[in-house]
A and B are shown apart, each in its own frame.
Chain A
Amino acid sequence: MKKKIKIKINGKINKIDDKTKLSDLVKNLKVPLKKVAIELNREIVDKKNLNKINLKVNDKIEIVHFIGGG
């Protein structure tokens, strides 16, 4: 069995397989890539490079989009 690690997605703790690719995580979460921006440990991730990033323990991911606002 693969080793599990804890990461934070949008402030909530999630357990995922160690070395999960960011691209796979986003796919599993069914995130509409064209409509979001992604931050990993407070740095913006180029969406073209998602498959080059292996997630590690305590990574903090933020996935944001536009909502109604004034």
Chain B
Amino acid sequence: MKKDNLTISKKKFNSRLIVGTGKYKSMTECAKAIKISGADIVTVAVRRVNIADKKKPLLMDYIDPRKITYLPNTAGCFNSDEALRTLRLAREIGGWKLVKLEVLGDKKNLFPEMIETLKSTEILTKEGFKVMVYCNDDPLMAKRLENVGAAAIMPLAAPIGSGLGILNKVNIQIIRDQTKLPLIIDAGLGQASDAAIAMELGCDGVLVNTAIAKAKKPFEMARAFKNAVIAGRQSFLSGRIEKKVMGSASSPKKGII
């Protein structure tokens, strides 16, 4: 069978599951969960170094950026300027060009501020970044992001950290049908089956953080998501049956006694 990689900006990844590194109890727990998840890409945030406490553990000491692709994000940014500043700094740390853009518009629901997001995508792309864009599940906005050079479209399933699963499957389907860009469901998944549904809709991958990090058993949930992504992808590639209203018997009628 042909190898079924996730390709983003010509770079190939084995796993279609991208995981976040936030909200874990410890760095050790985070590193172990990532290993179990099989993810090749992890999202990371850019923050101030703790100058006072030099013994504080560093993420890079636990998750080796030579083995796993770091995807710097702009979490916590509420306008284009903050997002651009953050990603330019991220690039300076070690040459990261593949980035996740996330410009939020509301502190409570954490929905993306799409006008600022669109503006930032265009600027970053011109600066040579490969921008994976967290966005609303709006097909028109997804198209506009594509038009300004986004490297991947990453619509939310539901608000960040909400665990509600995919709220608008129809929109995701429309976005899938209109774009050849990698389509990755980002934010709002709650359990493994949500990931399988995303994959069955034809998405190229899913990005999960809270659902794994805050599960009662993060390692088991990491494994569950890994399997769900694989199962969902296989299901999608297998060509599902048509939906019918009426029943259709599985056993032949011929030879009934």
Q: Which residues of A contact B (CB under 8 A)?
A: 9-12, 29-32, 34-39, 42, 44, 47, 62-70
Given that A30-B54, A44-B88, A44-B89 are known contacts, is A69 also in contact with B22, CB under 8 Å in the complex? Answer: yes
The answer to whether A65 touches B46 (Cβ under 8 A) is yes
Partner of B58, one of A37, A47, A65: A65
Task: For residue A60, give the distance in angstroms from its CB to the closest CB of chain B.
Answer: 12
* Chain B, range 1-48, C-beta contacts under 8 Å to A: 20-24, 27, 30, 43-48
B88 — which chain A residues lie within 8 A by C-beta?
Answer: 44
Q: How far is the CA of A44 from the CA of B46 in the complex (A)?
A: 14
Q: List 13 A-B contacts (CB under 8 A).
A: A29-B51, A31-B49, A31-B51, A37-B89, A44-B92, A64-B47, A64-B93, A65-B47, A65-B60, A66-B90, A68-B21, A69-B43, A70-B160
The answer to whether A66 touches B92 (Cβ under 8 A) is no
Q: How many residue pairs, one in A and one in B, have C-beta atoms under 8 Å apart?
A: 98
Q: Which of B68-76, B174-182, B223-231 contacts the other chain?
A: B68-76
Task: For residue A65, give the distance in angstroms from its CB to the closest CB of chain B.
Answer: 5
Q: How far is the CA of A68 from the CA of B30 in the complex (A)?
A: 9
Interface residues on B, range: 35 or more
The answer to whether B93 touches A70 (Cβ under 8 A) is no
- B94 beta carbon closer than 8 Å to chain A: yes
A35-B60, A65-B46 are known; give 6 further A-B pairs, CB within 8 A: A37-B92, A39-B89, A64-B48, A64-B89, A66-B72, A69-B73
The answer to whether A70 touches B20 (Cβ under 8 A) is yes
The answer to whether B59 touches A66 (Cβ under 8 A) is yes
B54 — which chain A residues lie within 8 A by C-beta?
Answer: 29-30
Partner of B90, one of A31, A34, A37: A37
